[in-house]
A and B are shown apart, each in its own frame.
Chain A
Amino acid sequence: MPPDFIAAWLNKNEIFTAMTIMEYWDGLVTTVQLVFLCLIIGLVFAVPLAILRTVKNPFVSGPVWLYTYLFRGTPLLIQLYIIYYGVAQIPGIQDTFWWEIFREPFYPALLAFTLNTCAYTTEIIRGAIISTPHGEIEAAKAYGMNWFMRMRRIVLPSAARRAVQAYSNEVIFMLHSSAIASVVTIVDLTGAARNIYSRFYAPFDAFIFVALCYMVLTFILVFAFRKLENHLLRHQRPVGS
């Protein structure tokens, strides 16, 4: 039960009723699910892909380069259209088990977002890997570490420290990019705002409220990443602080 002054305020306006607040809440849950899942899956695949991308053999690094080039070189909206509408046009797809997955808009959107964020994350991690100081690698070699052990103990931990700031930007961009999920009928935060806007013809109320929701989510992300950076980069702090 909300406090009296909120209940009184809710009674006075016709847009923020219990029903529309619930629509926004459902939208928030969808947005968070979508963004969280695509970021996790994208990150899991990005680490091995980034390592493959730094390999000297062009037959190994070439395909990864092509993948990141394709997905960073085209707009996410186009990727989403191709996956959502394109897949439905494949003859006979409706009779296969794939259709169980692609029938709902959530999974095509998740796939498009994952492929997109994975491409960007791959390049972020690759950049961090290739900027590992040569001295660290030579020292590791001098200790007799093989390639696998060097990666695990030296290169990846220090790359993670260098990548975390750029990656926090990618996470925030992904949150905002997820707004386009509403074009394929997903009722995420933006989808809820569009539905409510078209019902009440009140663009300011509907969209400013949803903008505030995104800002709160961004604030939480920024806060979490600052904590993470403080933790990972604590060796760089001046002594005694």
Chain B
Amino acid sequence: MKKLMIAASCALAMFAGGAHAEGRDLRIAFDVPYEPFEYKDENGNLTGFEVDLAAAMCEEMKANCEFVIQAWDGMIPGLIARKFDLIMSSMSITPERAERVLFSEPYYNTPGGWFGPDNFSADVTDMDAMKGKTVGVQRGTTMDTFVTEEMTGIVTIKRYTTADDMVLDLEGQRLDAVFVDYPVGEQTVLSKDGFKEVGEPVKLGEGVGVAMRKRDKKVAEEVNAALRKLKEDGTYDAIMKKYFAYDVKV
């Protein structure tokens, strides 16, 4: 019995020692594809803005990182079940998610973009010019909140569950313009002929943060410190320029 206990404690000490020798082991989950944030390139390698940022962050933290692919539906359950330790998959910081996970400081925030047909000429910030127009938003998004607060009574607001339905109505001329997450609009609206950006992008909401288990407060401190460092020393800007033509830094 005594021998067994010694053996067990030795094994424990070795295990613990091994884990601490070269910094922390971290598994980071992504939901692919979500271009340009995380996707596989033609050789099958995981790449994208968040993947590059995660790699830089791991280097800064001197952690041993492993990248894991996880479908969106199982993200938070998988994190809580310890299948992985961090989520860096464009998870916006919201109060209801913050009930279940611990968020780092935001590391990016995509603006909301105004998109409309080529013949749209009004200034979207000029409330007189926008009067009577019909604007589409996705229900419950930060863009919805913005339009509801700033433009209720001036424009007719149509709320959609999916971006696809909204773009169909924009094409069908039921909407004069849509106000949608910029990368989504870039892919769904701008990829079609006859549509353009009709206003300056607007930054809304808190942004996207790294999600962790609530009890991992120590990890959160390290993640925040590393992200802050990357934002200051220019690494962040270099990665951002690789993927975006516009500013997503927060």
Q: Are A183 and B161 in contact (CB under 8 A)?
A: yes
Q: Are A198 and B139 in contact (CB under 8 A)?
A: yes
The reply to whether the CB of A150 lies closer than 8 angstroms to some CB of chain B is no
Instruction: Tell me, rounded to whole Å, the shortest Cβ–Cβ distance linking B163 to chain A.
Output: 14
Instruction: Tell me, rounded to whole Å, the shortest Cβ–Cβ distance linking B43 to chain A.
Output: 39
Count residues of B near A (Cβ-Cβ below 8 Å).
18
Instruction: Tell me, rounded to whole Å, the shortest Cβ–Cβ distance linking B192 to chain A.
Output: 14
The reply to whether the CB of B168 lies closer than 8 angstroms to some CB of chain A is yes
The reply to whether the CB of A223 lies closer than 8 angstroms to some CB of chain B is no
User: What per-residue 1/0 map shows which CB atoms of B33-67 lie under 8 Å from chain A?
Assistant: 00000000000000000000000000000000000
Q: Return chain A residues, CB-CB under 8 Å to B173.
A: 88, 94, 99, 103
Give 12 pairs: A residue, B residue, CB < 8 Å, sorted on A.
A85-B168, A85-B169, A88-B169, A88-B171, A88-B172, A94-B173, A105-B174, A183-B165, A191-B159, A195-B159, A199-B145, A199-B148
Within 8 A of B (CB), among A76-135: 85, 88-89, 94, 99, 103, 105
Please measure, in the bound complex, the distance between the C-alpha atom of A85 and the C-alpha atom of B173, giving whole angstroms. 11
The reply to whether the CB of B85 lies closer than 8 angstroms to some CB of chain A is no
The reply to whether the CB of A219 lies closer than 8 angstroms to some CB of chain B is no
Decide: A201 near B139, CB < 8 A? Known: A88-B169, A88-B173, A89-B172: no
The reply to whether the CB of B144 lies closer than 8 angstroms to some CB of chain A is yes
The reply to whether the CB of B203 lies closer than 8 angstroms to some CB of chain A is no
Q: Are A88 and B144 in contact (CB under 8 A)?
A: no
> What is the count of residue pairs linking A and B with beta-carbon distances less than 8 angstroms?
37
The reply to whether the CB of B160 lies closer than 8 angstroms to some CB of chain A is yes
Instruction: Tell me, rounded to whole Å, the shortest Cβ–Cβ distance linking B73 to chain A.
Output: 18
Closest residue to A94 on the B side, CB-wise?
Answer: B173
Q: Return chain A residues, CB-CB under 8 Å to B172.
A: 85, 88-89, 94
User: What per-residue 1/0 map shows which CB atoms of B165-201 lie under 8 Å from chain A?
Assistant: 1001101111000000000000000000000000000
Within 8 A of B (CB), among A46-98: 85, 88-89, 94
Instruction: Tell me, rounded to whole Å, the shortest Cβ–Cβ distance linking A196 to chain B.
Output: 11
Please measure, in the bound complex, the distance between the C-alpha atom of A175 and the C-alpha atom of B247, giving whole angstroms. 48
Interface residues of B (CB under 8 A from A): 95-96, 139-140, 144-145, 148, 158-161, 165, 168-169, 171-174
Label chain A's interface by main secondary structure.
helix
The reply to whether the CB of A165 lies closer than 8 angstroms to some CB of chain B is no
Q: Are A185 and B159 in contact (CB under 8 A)?
A: yes
The reply to whether the CB of A194 lies closer than 8 angstroms to some CB of chain B is yes
Please measure, in the bound complex, the distance between the C-alpha atom of A42 and the C-alpha atom of B153, giving whole angstroms. 34
Instruction: Tell me, rounded to whole Å, the shortest Cβ–Cβ distance linking A17 to chain B.
Output: 14
Q: Are A194 and B139 in contact (CB under 8 A)?
A: yes
Q: What are the nearest 6 A-B pairs in CB distance?
A: A88-B172, A198-B140, A185-B158, A198-B139, A94-B173, A201-B96
Closest residue to B148 on the A side, CB-wise?
Answer: A199
Q: Are B174 and A88 in contact (CB under 8 A)?
A: yes
Please measure, in the bound complex, the distance between the C-alpha atom of A191 and the C-alpha atom of B160, giving whole angstroms. 10
Within 8 A of B (CB), among A197-219: 198-199, 201
Instruction: Tell me, rounded to whole Å, the shortest Cβ–Cβ distance linking B45 to chain A.
Output: 37
Q: Return chain B residues, CB-CB under 8 Å to A99.
A: 173
Q: Return chain A residues, CB-CB under 8 Å to B158.
A: 185
Please measure, in the bound complex, the distance between the C-alpha atom of A199 and the C-alpha atom of B152, giving whole angstroms. 14
Closest residue to B139 on the A side, CB-wise?
Answer: A198
Please measure, in the bound complex, the distance between the C-alpha atom of A94 and the C-alpha atom of B175, giving whole angstroms. 12
Please measure, in the bound complex, the distance between the C-alpha atom of A159 and the C-alpha atom of B71, giving whole angstroms. 57
* Contact partner, A185, options B96, B140, B144, B160, Cβ 8 Å: B160
Instruction: Tell me, rounded to whole Å, the shortest Cβ–Cβ distance linking A108 to chain B.
Output: 10
